Structures are given as structure tokens and as C-alpha cells.
């Protein structure tokens, strides 16, 4: 019933947008009569109030799903999970009603046009990125609720991990897709060829993803070996807490960023109190009850469990360094020591050195057996893989680029190490059990790890061999750029549904290849906001990116060109990671026989 | 009118959220965990 009413509330706001009801303040501020229908539907989450309503809608959707798919779950656990989710939904619905009512009306401004949706958001990416991200953020509330319910009951079995894992995987998949789509959208829309900015709000989504990644790995150990249970509970609490912190950072207005369309300190106070209650309460409960769920088992240093533990440690350190960089400006500001910003140089300096041991560990981790393994076996399996990982990148780099860049080489070595080691483990498994003997969860792990190596290849090559150039050009002129002849063919005026501006025609050619692209400079009618719509010649192995700058005089423009080799691998890898998670999610072990058995084991231990 | 329906629906959702929390919590307090959520 709660889901039905929230859905109705959400539908009502959508209808307000579709009917251009500008007496509703939120519609007035985020829509306009000339806004295309597609964006009117998306504009519901284009501002603070509506996106919080979307948050609550998704939360009730998860609650509905938990109620629906947990029929066989041990009832006292299920009821506690729903109580915790219910408490969270009360917090957020009260937040909307008290501080962020999207339905409030105004009659002072008799406007029939509307203030329009932020032009940055008027992109097809806006349909998918926020809902996907919220599905991930809010989805971690289910893992959180399972953790709190287990602590409340004071008992955690391996079946608890088996029940929590699919929910965590689902949330993690959505978050992966949301972050990947956001990165792709930023690349297309922001007009300067970057795909990740270490923007505080991006970090706010990346931190729960990192902890979520640690969580799905430690859940595997908790499920298979009944180890790290207290640690897994803490990770589940941390992942959702970071989602809440992310919301606090975006919604409170303490941070300004490219996402700064939502700024309000009063709302921030409510979220801060809510945050303290939820995080403080859950950590307090953890402190009280964790002792009762701890299992002490011997851990062999050369085993998959130990590798996963080390992986968790690295992931948590990475998360903490990102958290430090994100909140450091706030702390300095709060102490009255001035204003500063922490940007890409800090994050790259701390993130990359921490990723190196993590990627090395990944190559070993996928090969290790549970419980006990040995150096001898590892050496026999990974010796050749290690040699090839050193040799292939050097060969490829020298043959393809006819040059040698040490940083690129090291990045490629790590990517190939993960790639080849993962393929090797798949080959070994195929030899032992045949194709039919491989579970979807295992295949998902392989695909996700391959995806990460593809992303590393994309990041390494696009940043190592990317070229950019700013030039002044007039129609009729051409330049040679990255081996391509790029001609500025013409420029014409442009009129869209809610904007006007200029549209340029560029012709890219090389060895018989020809492609026309059309970058635009738009001025949105409401507020006269200028926007650069870049044009990209896309191919699997390289992008040529053209962004129209400012007009310099009557017929010439400043134009920015980027050559981005292998940049598509970054998002392609992201899709592989998502798809790997999805395959693990649909593994029937979680839904059929295992579940019925779990119910019995749980009950037998009451 | 539509906006008011939206707000009313949200208030009803809040009411149901309170029921979802209070009723089973009372059930747990009074040790009657065998009832079901509708």
C-alpha cells in the first residue's frame, strides 16, 4: 500500500509537469512550455524536491521487491528488515513533507512559460543516469537493513550472506551502470572531453561503489566459509551510510560542483541529523552486538579468503583517501582556515598508487583456492601469464604507436596481468568442469574482472596518447590533426524547441574514410544560457571530439579538438562490469533449491 | 487539484510507513512474531 501511494504521489507530480501547471513552484522552476515532452517526464527529478521523491519512490520499490521475493526468508529476519526499511522511508517522506514539498503552490508569479530545466540536464543521458544511480544508492539500504536485522536478532548464518548477496549485487549493478552512464554523459555534454572530474558529487557515488565492491567480495567469503561476518556487516552499514553521506553532500549545499543544481543548508541540517541517527544508531548496534556474530577461524595467508581480505583492505583505504579529499575542504573551511579545493592532482596522486597493488592482487586472487594454496602451484599457473603481461604491452605499444611511454606501459602491464590471469582461470575451470559446469556467478566474476582490465586499458591509452588542440577556424579552412584532415565546411544558424544558436559542419577524412559531424553552440531561450553541444566521430578504437567554442569575429570560431584513443574501452569495461554483476545476480543458486534449504537451516538453529 | 492529490498520497504513504514499523515492532515486543504483513 505504501508503494502504491508513493507511486501515486510520483505520478501526480509527473502529471503536473505534463500539463504545465506553473502554479506548482517546482514545475515553474524546472520546466517550461516549450520543453520537449521527453524532458518534461525527466524534469520530475531535475531539481531537489522531485529527486527526493524519486529517492522515496525507489526506496518503496525496493521494499515492495523485498516483501515479494522473500517469501521463504526466515520470518523474524524478514520482519526486522522491513521495519528498518520502513523507518528509513519515514525519515525520507518526513524530509520531503517538512523541508522539500514538491507540490507547494505559488500565485505571486503569473508566469505562463516556466523557468525551464537546467540546459546541462537536457540530454538523453538524463533519462537513465539519475534513476540508475538512485537505484544503486537506495538499493544498499536493503543490504543495510539485512545487516541491522541480523544484529537485532543477534545471529548471522552463512544463509544470511546468501540472502543478502543478490540484493547487494542488484544495487551494485545499478550503481555501476549509473556511474558509467554518468561518466559517458559528462564526456558528451560538458564539452571538454573529460570523462571523470573527481567532482565531490562523483566521489559521493564512487565511494559507496567501492565499499559495495568490497561488500560483494566479503559476502562471498561469509557465504562460502562463514568468515568475516562482523566485517561484512560493517561494510553493509558503511555502504549505505556513504550513500546517505552522498545525499547529504549533494542536497545540503555544503559542496558546490557541476551537480550544484541542488543547494540548501536548511535541508542539509535535517539530513545531517537523520544521518547521525541512522549511522550513529547502526554503528552503536554493531558495537553492542558484533561480538555475538564473530566467528574466529584460522586464516591461511595463501588462500582466496586472505586475498579477498587484502582486497577489502585496499578498497577501504582507497575509499578513505577519496573521502578525505572530498571532505578536507569542508573541514578547513569549518575551522576557519580559509577556502581551498582538492582536485584531480590529489586524487590521481593517491588513487593510482593504491590501484597498482589492488590490480596485482586481483591477478593472484582469481587463481587462489579456498582455504589453502601454495606458491608452487601459483608459480606454475601464473609464471607464463606474468611473462606475457610484461611482454605483450611493450610489443603492442612499440608496434602500434612507434614510441614508448613508461606510464602507459605500466598501466597496460597491470591491465594485461588481470586480463590474462582471469582468462587463464576460466580455461582451467573449463578443462576441469566443461562449459556446462561453470556457474553464472563464476562467469559473472570473469566478465566483471575482464571489464575492469578493459577500463584500465581505456584509461591508460586515452590519457597517455590523447591529443588536444585549440584553434581559430573559419568555414572553408582545414587542419591536420592526429593523422586526420578536418575541414570546417560551413556554419549555419539553428532553431530548436527551446533554444537557438549555431551549428557547424566539419568533415573528417583520412585514407578514403570520410565522416561529417555537427557540433552546436546553443543559447537556451529562458535565461539566455549558452551551452556547447560537442560532436564526436565515434569508433571502437578512437574518438575524434569537436567542441565549438566562442565566435571570435564574424566568420571565425575558436574550436577545440580532441583525439581520444581507446576511450570507449572505459565505458565498455563499465558495461562488462555491470553485465558480470548481472550474470552473478541471475544465478539460480540464490533462488531455487538453496533458498528452501536455507529456510530450514535457519529455523533449525532457533 | 492534481498536486494536492500527490501530497495527500504522500501523507497516506507516511501513515502506512508508520503502520509498517509500529505494528510489527509491537508484535516483536509482545513476542507474537507469527502474524503477517498484508
pLDDT, position A603: 42
pLDDT, position A33: 77
Instruction: Tell me the residue length of chain A.
Output: 606
pLDDT, position B27: 83
Contacting A residues, span 427-466, partner chain B, CB-CB under 8 Å? none
**Cell numbers of A92, please?**
525520507
C-alpha of A301 from chain center: 32
Select from A600, A589, A533 the least CA-distant residue to A162: A589
| Predicted confidence (pLDDT) per residue in A128-163, tens digit | 888 999 999 999 999 999 999 988 887 777 778 888
Buried b (16+ CB within 10 A) or exposed e, A305-314: bbbbbbbbeb
For chain A, percent of residues with pLDDT exceeding 90: 41
pLDDT, position A393: 93
| Predicted confidence (pLDDT) per residue in A285-314, tens digit | 988 887 777 766 777 778 888 889 999 999
Q: Which of B5, B11, B14, B27 best probes binding to A when mutated, by most A CB atoms within 10 angstroms?
A: B14
Contacting A residues, span 96-115, partner chain B, CB-CB under 8 Å? 96-97, 101-103, 105
The whole-angstrom separation of Cα A196 and Cα A203 is: 10
Of residues A119 and A279, the one with the higher pLDDT is A279
Residues A100-111 have a mean pLDDT of 76
> Using alpha carbons only, how large is chain B's radius of gyration in Å?
14
The whole-angstrom separation of Cα A224 and Cα A235 is: 17
**Using a CB-CB distance cutoff of 8 angstroms, which residues of chain B are in contact with residue A9?**
6-7, 9-10, 13
Q: Is the pLDDT of residue A262 over 60?
A: no
pLDDT, position B37: 47
Which uninterrupted H or E stretch holds A484? Answer: strand A484-495
* Terminal C-alpha separation, chain A: 31
| Predicted confidence (pLDDT) per residue in A547-570, tens digit | 988 888 878 899 999 999 999 999
Residues A566-590 have a mean pLDDT of 90
* Among candidates A9, A75, A105 on the partner chain, residue whose Cβ is nearest the Cβ of B13: A9
Q: Is the pLDDT of residue A601 over 80?
A: no
Q: To 10 degrees, the CA torsion angle through A355, A360, A366, A372?
A: -120
Residues A72-78 have a mean pLDDT of 84
**Using a CB-CB distance cutoff of 8 angstroms, which residues of chain A are in contact with residue B30?**
none
What is the pTM (predicted TM-score) of this model? 0.89
Q: pLDDT averaged over chain A?
A: 85
Confidence of residue A590 (pLDDT cuts 50, 70, 90): low
Residues A347-353 have a mean pLDDT of 90
**Using a CB-CB distance cutoff of 8 angstroms, which residues of chain B are in contact with residue A102?**
6
The whole-angstrom separation of Cα A548 and Cα A87 is: 50
Buried b (16+ CB within 10 A) or exposed e, A42-51: bbbbbbbbbb
Q: Is the pLDDT of residue A589 over 80?
A: no
The whole-angstrom separation of Cα B37 and Cα B29 is: 16
| Predicted confidence (pLDDT) per residue in A382-406, tens digit | 889 999 999 999 999 898 888 889 9
Identify the three-state secondary structure at position A508: strand
The whole-angstrom separation of Cα A308 and Cα A225 is: 12
Q: Domain locations in chain A? A: 470-568
For chain A, percent of residues with pLDDT exceeding 70: 92
Confidence of residue A28 (pLDDT cuts 50, 70, 90): confident
pLDDT, position B26: 86
pLDDT, position A141: 93
Q: CB distance B14–A87 less than 8 Å?
A: no
Highest mean pLDDT among A72-76, A377-381, A447-451, A524-528: A447-451
**Using a CB-CB distance cutoff of 8 angstroms, which residues of chain B are in contact with residue A44?**
none
* Three-state SS annotation for chain B: CHHHHHHHHHHHHHHHHHHHHHHHHHHHHCCCCCCCCC
The whole-angstrom separation of Cα A412 and Cα A390 is: 9
pLDDT, position A83: 93
Q: CB distance B9–A5 less than 8 Å?
A: yes
Q: Are A480 and A572 in contact (CB under 8 A)?
A: no
C-alpha of A282 from chain center: 25
Around A476, how many Cα atoms within 13 Å sit in the side-chain half-sphere?
3
Q: CB distance B3–A1 less than 8 Å?
A: no
**Using a CB-CB distance cutoff of 8 angstroms, which residues of chain A are in contact with residue B10?**
5-6, 9, 53, 93, 96-97, 103
pLDDT, position A258: 44
A66 touches chain B (CB under 8 A): no
Identify the three-state secondary structure at position A542: strand
Of residues A26 and A450, the one with the higher pLDDT is A450
Residues paired with A506 in a beta bridge: A488, A517
Identify the three-state secondary structure at position A605: coil
Buried b (16+ CB within 10 A) or exposed e, A583-593: bbbebebbeee
* Among candidates A1, A87, A96 on the partner chain, residue whose Cβ is nearest the Cβ of B10: A96
**Using a CB-CB distance cutoff of 8 angstroms, which residues of chain A are in contact with residue B38?**
1
Residues paired with A531 in a beta bridge: A522
| Predicted confidence (pLDDT) per residue in B1-38, tens digit | 788 888 889 899 999 999 889 888 888 888 765 544 43
**Cell numbers of A340, please?**
581551498
Select from A316, A309, A299 the least CA-distant residue to A373: A299
**A79-88, A443-452, A453-462, A587-596, range with the lowest pLDDT:** A587-596
Of residues A469 and A252, the one with the higher pLDDT is A469
Find, in chain B, the residue whose alpha carbon is nearest to that of A95: B14
Distance from CA of B5 to the nearest CA of A (A): 7
Select from A335, A333, A345, A174 the least CA-distant residue to A256: A333
Select from A88, A83, A215 the least CA-distant residue to A149: A83
Q: Which of A71, A94, A103, A105 best probes binding to B when mutated, by most B CB atoms within 10 angstroms?
A: A103
Q: Are A284 and A147 in contact (CB under 8 A)?
A: no
Of residues A373 and A367, the one with the higher pLDDT is A367
* Among candidates B5, B16, B25 on the partner chain, residue whose Cβ is nearest the Cβ of A12: B5
Q: CB distance A13–B3 less than 8 Å?
A: yes
pLDDT, position B32: 61
Q: Which of A1, A63, A88, A602 best probes binding to B when mutated, by most B CB atoms within 10 angstroms?
A: A1
Residues A522-528 have a mean pLDDT of 82
Residue A469, number of CB atoms within 10 A of its CB: 13
Around B19, how many Cα atoms within 13 Å sit in the side-chain half-sphere?
11
Q: Are A523 and A532 in contact (CB under 8 A)?
A: no
C-alpha of A64 from chain center: 24
B1 touches chain A (CB under 8 A): no
Amino acid at each position: 500500500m505504501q508503494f502504491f501511494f508513493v507511486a501515486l504521489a510520483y505520478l501526480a507530480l509527473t502529471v503536473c509537469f505534463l500539463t504545465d501547471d506553473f502554479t506548482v513552484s517546482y514545475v515553474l522552476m524546472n520546466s517550461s512550455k516549450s520543453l520537449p515532452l521527453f524532458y518534461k517526464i525527466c524534469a520530475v527529478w531535475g531539481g531537489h524536491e522531485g529527486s527526493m521523491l524519486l529517492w522515496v519512490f525507489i526506496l518503496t520499490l525496493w521494499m515492495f521487491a523485498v516483501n515479494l521475493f522473500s517469501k521463504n526468508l526466515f520470518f523474524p529476519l524478514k520482519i526486522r528488515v522491513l521495519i528498518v526499511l520502513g523507518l528509513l522511508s519515514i525519515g525520507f517522506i518526513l524530509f520531503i513533507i517538512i523541508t522539500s514539498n514538491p507540490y507547494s503552490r505559488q500565485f505571486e508569479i503569473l508566469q505562463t512559460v516556466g523557468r525551464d530545466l537546467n540546459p546541462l540536464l537536457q540530454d538523453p543521458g538524463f533519462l537513465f543516469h539519475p534513476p540508475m544511480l538512485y537505484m544503486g544508492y537506495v538499493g544498499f539500504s536493503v543490504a543495510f537493513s539485512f545487516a541491522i536485522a541480523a544484529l537485532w536478532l543477534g545471529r548471522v548464518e552463512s544463509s544470511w550472506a546468501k540472502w543478502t548477496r543478490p540484493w547487494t549485487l542488484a544495487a551494485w549493478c545499478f550503481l555501476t551502470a549509473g556511474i558509467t552512464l554518468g561518466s559517458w554523459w559528462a564526456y558528451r555534454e560538458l564539452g571538454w572531453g573529460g570523462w571523470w572530474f573527481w567532482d565531490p558529487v562523483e566521489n559521493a557515488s564512487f565511494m559507496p561503489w567501492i565499499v559495495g565492491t568490497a561488500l560483494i567480495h566479503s559476502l562471498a567469503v561469509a557465504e562460502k566459509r562463514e568468515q568475516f561476518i562482523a566485517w561484512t556487516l560493517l561494510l553493509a552499514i558503511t555502504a549505505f551510510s556513504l550513500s546517505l553521506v552522498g545525499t547529504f553532500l549533494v542536497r545540503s549545499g555544503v559542496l558546490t560542483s557541476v551537480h550544484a543544481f541542488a543547494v540548501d543548508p536548511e535541508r542539509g541540517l535535517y539530513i545531517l541529523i537523520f544521518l547521525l541517527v541512522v549511522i550513529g544508531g547502526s554503528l552503536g548496534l554493531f558495537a553492542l552486538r558484533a561480538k555475538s556474530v564473530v566467528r574466529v577461524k584460522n586464516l591461511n595467508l595463501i588462500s582466496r579468503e586472505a586475498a579477498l581480505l587484502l582486497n577489502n583492505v585496499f578498497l577501504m583505504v582507497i575509499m578513505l583517501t577519496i573521502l578525505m579529499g572530498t571532505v578536507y575542504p569542508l573541514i578547513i573551511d569549518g575551522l576557519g582556515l580559509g577556502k581551498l579545493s582538492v582536485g584531480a592532482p590529489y586524487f590521481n596522486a593517491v588513487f593510482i598508487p593504491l590501484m597498482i597493488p589492488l590490480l596485482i592482487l586481483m591477478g593472484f586472487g582469481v587463481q587462489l583456492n579456498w582455504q589453502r594454496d601454495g606458491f608452487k602451484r601459483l608459480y606454475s599457473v601464473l609464471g607464463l601469464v606474468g611473462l606475457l603481461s610484461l611482454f605483450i604491452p611493450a610489443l603492442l605499444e612499440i608496434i602500434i604507436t612507434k614510441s614508448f611511454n613508461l606510464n602507459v606501459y605500466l598501466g597496460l602491464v597491470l591491465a594485461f596481468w588481470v586480463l590474462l590471469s582471469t582468462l587463464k582461470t576460466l580455461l582451467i575451470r573449463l578443462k576441469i568442469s566443461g562449459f556446462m559446469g561453470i556457474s553464472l556467478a563464476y562467469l559473472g566474476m570473469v566478465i566483471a574482472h575482464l571489464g575492469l582490465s578493459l577500463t584500465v586499458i581505456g584509461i591508460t591509452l586515452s590519457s597517455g596518447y590523447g591529443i588536444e588542440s585549440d584553434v581559430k577556424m573559419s568555414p572553408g579552412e582545414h587542419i591536420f590533426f592526429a593523422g586526420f584532415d578536418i575541414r570546417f565546411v560551413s556554419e549555419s544558424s539553428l532553431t530548436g524547441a527551446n533554444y537557438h544558436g549555431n551549428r557547424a559542419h566539419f568533415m573528417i577524412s583520412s585514407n578514403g574514410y570520410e565522416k561529417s559531424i555537427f557540433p552546436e553552440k546553443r543559447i537556451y531561450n529562458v535565461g539566455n544560457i549558452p551551452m556547447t553541444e560537442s560532436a564526436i566521430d565515434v569508433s571502437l578504437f578512437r574518438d575524434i571530439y569537436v567542441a565549438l567554442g566562442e565566435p571570435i569575429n564574424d566568420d571565425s570560431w575558436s574550436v577545440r579538438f580532441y583525439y581520444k584513443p581507446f576511450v570507449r574501452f572505459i565505458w565498455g569495461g563499465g558495461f562488462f562490469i555491470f553485465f558480470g554483476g548481472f550474470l552473478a545476480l541471475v544465478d539460480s543458486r540464490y533462488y531455487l533449491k538453496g533458498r528452501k534449504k536455507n529456510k530450514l537451516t535457519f529455523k533449525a538453529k532457533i | 487539484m492534481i498536486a494536492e492529490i500527490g501530497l495527500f498520497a504522500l501523507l497516506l504513504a507516511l501513515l502506512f510507513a508508520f503502520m509498517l514499523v509500529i505494528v510489527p515492532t509491537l508484535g516483536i515486543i509482545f513476542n507474537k512474531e507469527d502474524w503477517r504483513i498484508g
